[in-house]
Amino acid sequence: MKGIYFDGKDAVYRENLPMPSPSKDESLIRIFYAGICNTDREVLKGYRPDFRGVMGHEFVGVVEESSDPYWTGRRVVGELNAGCGHCIYCRTGREKHCLERKVIGMDGKDGCFGEYMTLATHLLHEVPSGLALTDALMTEPLAAALEIPQQVHIGPDMAVAIIGDGRLAYLIASVLRLSGADLTIIGKHSEKLQKFAEMGKTMLPEERQEAETFELVVEASGSPTGLELASGLVRKQGMIVLKSTYAGTVNVDMSRLVVNEVTIKGSRCGPFEPALRLLEKGLVKLHPTEFYELGDWKPAFASKAMKAGFLIYPDV
């Protein structure tokens, strides 16, 4: 099978990958489309040094074989964290924090930048019939954005800043906008910020007035300097939600956070069903995805489009 394999150093396009075979609790999925996430780019920079395998975790596909016959022939998206089923986290409904979890395309499990993939059947979600598959491809990143209102109460009277002007920041803005909060998007690229114009106020970091502070700051810049910027924006006793994952560590003045009694909250994967619901109802504005062939992974990864991905098997 064709796919993009991470060999520990770099991505390699291969046409001789073994065909995956589902275990007794899994389904075999033929991939239509796969999306490139910033996390995949971080894998190439060393974010997951121990991983070897097919990359990618955002996909839409069709189930060809399944442990549960219900799923056969259905169009699906799927969650990326497969838990062991018996540790303290799995037993308390927190499978994504499982001590022995496998994460597709990142940790112990082949991902979706290939023609086929296997996934634990209980991680599948059906794509509603009215939803375009190219839109359904946004389910996973949108679910990650929806994790924020799941963790933090966001009221319409709150001043909220989002740091970042990329795809994740855009989805976060789309979701937080629905709360009615007073949104400000802070990014480094004025041309990218234009896309956020209808979501809220936009500004470059240097345009901000000293007195302008925010009850909640969401760091989604994908840059290690984002947290330092966030700690200068957040109000005393406010909260910073961290969304970016990257290789390496960050340097931050922690005493400022201590003295100001700032809460820092990490935020990762979120709920799929509400994400599918928002997409189906058209409540989230999406940018068209720029699609590439698997063999063209280099230009695909380098793409400056709001969203790039792979067209693996045309949806007919």
C-alpha to C-alpha distance for 178 and 188, rounded to whole angstroms:
24
Owner of token pair 């004025």: 190
Q: Which is nearer to Zn ion, 83 or 111 (CB)?
A: 83
In the complex, the smallest distance separating the C-beta of residue 72 from Zn ion, rounded to whole angstroms, is 27
Q: Which is nearer to Zn ion, 4 or 98 (CB)?
A: 98
Among the residues of the chain, which ranges form H helices?
A: 38-44, 88-91, 133-136, 139-151, 167-177, 190-193, 226-233, 254-259, 272-280, 297-302
C-alpha to C-alpha distance for 31 and 258, rounded to whole angstroms:
47
Contact between residue 156 and residue 180 where contact means Cβ atoms under 8 Å apart: yes
C-alpha to C-alpha distance for 186 and 169, rounded to whole angstroms:
10
Q: What is the DSSP string of 211-276?
A: T--EEEEEE-SSSTTHHHHHHHHEEEEEEEEE----SS-----HHHHHHTT-EEEE-----HHHHH
In the complex, the smallest distance separating the C-beta of residue 39 from Zn ion, rounded to whole angstroms, is 5
Q: Which is nearer to Zn ion, 171 or 233 (CB)?
A: 171
In the complex, the smallest distance separating the C-beta of residue 199 from Zn ion, rounded to whole angstroms, is 21
In the complex, the smallest distance separating the C-beta of residue 194 from Zn ion, rounded to whole angstroms, is 24
Q: Which is nearer to Zn ion, 145 or 233 (CB)?
A: 145
Closest CA to 277 of 123, 126, 79: 126
Closest CA to 115 of 177, 61, 190, 159: 61
Q: Which is nearer to Zn ion, 233 or 294 (CB)?
A: 294
Q: Which is nearer to Zn ion, 43 or 90 (CB)?
A: 90
Q: Contact positions toward Zn ion, by CB under 5 A?
A: 37, 83-84, 87, 90, 98
Q: Retrieve residue 271's tokens.
A: 């709920």
Q: Which is nearer to Zn ion, 256 or 268 (CB)?
A: 268
Q: Which is nearer to Zn ion, 3 or 111 (CB)?
A: 111
Judged by DSSP in three states, 301 sits in helix
Contact between residue 162 and residue 176 where contact means Cβ atoms under 8 Å apart: yes
In the complex, the smallest distance separating the C-beta of residue 242 from Zn ion, rounded to whole angstroms, is 15
In the complex, the smallest distance separating the C-beta of residue 316 from Zn ion, rounded to whole angstroms, is 26
In the complex, the smallest distance separating the C-beta of residue 57 from Zn ion, rounded to whole angstroms, is 6
In the complex, the smallest distance separating the C-beta of residue 11 from Zn ion, rounded to whole angstroms, is 16
